[in-house]
Amino acid sequence: MTEKQRFCEICKVEISPERVEALPDTRRCTSCARAQEAEGNPEFDLLVSQSQLGKVGSLKKNYGDVTVQKRRR
């Protein structure tokens, strides 16, 4: 758990330590994050890409692992 308290950037309520532990980059409490996501304004964008394992020039698509990057809006 973290020692520092962190407060929501919207409602100024303390963010629960469990949420901070699960999402260290978060700046919103759970209720504000849910409300903002419902309005179409999520806190993070997720960038997902697949690595291709096929030979160069081949039309056959062989995909390997999936990479997920989280970026703050």
* Rounded distance between C-alpha atoms, residue 15 and residue 17, angstroms: 6
> For residue 2, what pLDDT is reported?
46
> For residue 30, what pLDDT is reported?
94
Instruction: Break the chain into its structural domains and give their ranges.
Output: 17-72
Task: Please state the φ and ψ torsions of residue 30, each to the nearest 5 degrees.
Answer: -60, -45
Q: What is the pTM of this model?
A: 0.63
Neighbours of 7 (CB within 10 A): 12
Mean pLDDT by 10 residues, the chain (73 residues): 79 94 91 92 88 81 84 81
